[in-house]
Amino acid sequence: MVWVGSFKSLQTALRTRFIRTPFQVHTWIRTEITVISPVVDWFMTLIVASRCVAGKEDLVALALQEALNNAMLHGNSLDPRRLVHIRCCCDHNKGVLFIVRDQGHGFDPNQLPDPLALENLLAEHGRGIHLMKLAMDEVSFRRNGAEIHLRKPPEQKQEGFPRRAHEKVPKWIVRPSLRASFC
């Protein structure tokens, strides 16, 4: 199922009882900080109902909130005439992918200061991308930094001995089919 429309129109049209995986949502919102929480809550209601990343919803919510905040604050410079475009693809077998695009000029993600450096620990900004990278399995930038892709695969069923919670599977151990043709 694919739904396209403004956030306000989709918010009233879609209810979780209609959601079945896989689904795609394409929507946009005006640059208003007060809209971030309702948008994140709405998407998370859909994702929880779909169970495409069961048990990892809090991480996805954190990353989405940071991506929307960065798009509005840094990308769109809080200009209420600019939009933030959001695309969500959710599939029980592939997980969830968010694409958040602002209407700013972009940035070079390689030029960001290290948020863990001593001189940056007390800074008011600068941790959002770091948090997104910790929360999601894949984070990448497109359109000169004006678009971010956030991906979280579903929990993989383990064969043999269970992994400890702190042992993360290296990113290069991903089936090629998960990277290809998703969304």
The one-letter code for the residue type at 11 is Q
Res. 159: pLDDT tops 90: no
Query: How far apart are the C-alpha atoms of 57 and 52, rounded to whole Å?
Result: 9
**pLDDT of 32-70, one tens digit each?**
999 999 999 999 998 998 888 988 999 999 999 999 999
* Residue of 182 and 76 predicted with greater confidence: 76
Share of the chain above pLDDT 70, in %: 73
End-to-end alpha carbon distance in the chain: 11
Averaged pLDDT score across all residues of the chain: 81
pLDDT at 4 over 90: no
At residue 125, does pLDDT exceed 70? no
Least confident residue range of 8-22, 79-93, 146-160: 8-22
Of 72, 92, 38, 67, nearest in space to 148 by CA: 67
For the whole model, what pTM was predicted? 0.79
Beta bridge partners of 141: 148
Domain count, the chain: 1
Residue 82 has pLDDT above 60, yes or no: yes
Q: In the numeric block, which tokens belong to residue 3?
A: 């739904």
The pLDDT tens digits of the residues spanning 16-35 come to: 555 666 889 999 999 999 99
Domain that holds residue 6: 2-179
pLDDT of 89 > 90? The answer is: yes
> Any idea what the CATH number is for the domain that residue 175 is in?
3.30.565.10
Residue 104: enclosing H or E segment and its boundaries?
Answer: none
- Spatial neighbors of 65 by CB under 8 A, at least 6 apart, are 36, 37, 40
- Per-residue pLDDT for 2 more than 50? yes
Cβ atoms of 101 and 143 closer than 8 Å? yes
